[in-house]
Chain A
């Protein structure tokens, strides 16, 4: 791509590079402030989080994380003193606010739901997507272009619009508010991305490998398993992470189709309430925990990012 940058005639001057760099760095720093603010808030105490002017320097506290994982009840100081020594870090922290831990909060189950649904649907979407992509890439499928467009077009529908009939269908089938129902739904949404992306990756693997393998006596299926799959590993991994990020971040379907047992973290985090309003440090703590995997994936994926977000329509 950048083989010819050495030509001095068109290379940008050092001065213009410096200005460009300064603007980009300024933009990057400003755009990252909201995220740093979330991170900082997760280590504030509730009074610090709503102080005015906003506190940039503060005494870090893990109260937000304690509140995120527990439910608490207010008690009289006498009662708290009669309890004996605190049983842990969090217990000690909440006792300072005249509260005792009543039990675990719903955050952990919702987070686990997110893990199960995101990983489950990603596995299914990538599995189905790999098979279909191979089918479209290597065989003459009648109406292949129409089928591929049909697969893509399932993404045009607003989620709310699909949610109405899905809601009715799931109610009939007993799939509403179940992890299985959400996995099926996210698989269907993600499989379009998986087919389009993986078809691009598999198209790039020369057919000769399979042909050679088949000459050696392998069946089509064995040739696919032994030659194509190993070569497509990078593409499959990238596709998997894109599907995972989508399923991890999805909100509309989750908010409309789950209410309790199968609810994921995105609709849950905004509902974290403290005494008298939203408990912002706890919300920030939940947000931080929720964002960490995505940040790791972004860094891992940066080279493939463009392909993933454009359905492979643009190669980098």
Chain B
């Protein structure tokens, strides 16, 4: 009723006149509302990005602002692509991204699939599981350093209690082959709930009647899982992988606090290399070029991935 009246009045009012009388035009208002955000992002994101692009072609060093800045052309980029250490850092990053995503997806999906059974009290336990992902990675990373201490830490104690290996030989953070895993374990502990939550939304979005139809066709539970549950939840799983992938590609806080990139450079992911180059060696131009390469890599990979995701969604 109200709508119809509104429509009639609206039609009866000459539009431009109505707009003028009522103050600012809609178009003006739209820009008035949107421009502060855009301006802020231009100032804090885009301007610095262009500055970084400019610096990436120079030999500028932030700790020597008075030195003459030389234009190097693509020399920085060439050096990075030929730098052995950078490639090792990229490999370490890829290694972390692969294992954290694999573990988090497997465990997260399994947990979601179990919670979806709606046993008694599932809401409470789900909330409890979600707590780790709400914490500060830095604070958490710092505290896991304590848990990992070979002499006094709870983690080493429990592992040695279960396995019988003396706790002093469980050097999670200083053993070359264990250090990467110490980070993968904390990241998985912290972010599995995130994947679980998205998978749970995916499972809950599957309409019940599909299972009923499958039941009528006498499809086995196994068959139902592979032909209904997994494919229907796949776009959600892929979304979780996308978000975790981007975040873990940028991973910094946890690594910086747990191992600082060590021992040696076994856990030196791209962000840590970048920090060392930019804020310890002060090779600002060189590190800017690396930053641009990383940005292009994340942006490119994310775009390819989103295209794949959209294809899966359309099926």
Contact = CB atoms under 8 A, between A and B. Distances in A.
Given A32-B128, A158-B295, A10 B215 contact: yes
B212 A162 contact: no
A266 B49 contact: no
A106 interface: no
A314 B201 contact: yes
Interface stretch (A19-27, A59-67, A71-79): A19-27
Of B3, B118, B157, chain A has the most CB atoms within 10 Å of the CB of: B118
Given A54-B157, A249-B135, A291-B139, A16 B44 contact: no
A159 B270 CA distance: 12
A38 to B, nearest CB: 5
Interface residues of B, number: 108
A5 B138 contact: no
Contacts of B90: none
Contacts of A138: 30
Interface residues of A, dominant DSSP: helix
Interface string A135-171: 1101111000001001101111111111111111101
B23 A187 contact: no
A248 B138 CA distance: 11
A131 B36 contact: yes
A208 interface: yes
Interface stretch (B71-79, B97-105, B172-180, B242-250): B242-250
Contacts of A1: 204
A53 interface: yes
B201 A266 contact: no
B264 interface: no
Contacts of A267: 138
A96 interface: no
A229 interface: no
B298 A20 contact: no
A277 B199 CA distance: 42
Contact of B24 (A163, A215, A220): A220
A236 B31 CA distance: 21
Interface string A3-18: 0110101101000111
Given A17-B118, A299-B127, A132 B252 contact: no
Contacts of A269: 138-139, 142
Given A161-B295, A298-B130, 11 more contacts: A18-B119, A24-B114, A24-B126, A131-B37, A154-B41, A158-B298, A162-B291, A168-B62, A219-B23, A248-B136, A266-B139
13 contacts: A25-B125, A31-B132, A54-B154, A136-B34, A157-B49, A159-B252, A164-B52, A191-B37, A212-B6, A215-B5, A269-B142, A309-B198, A315-B201
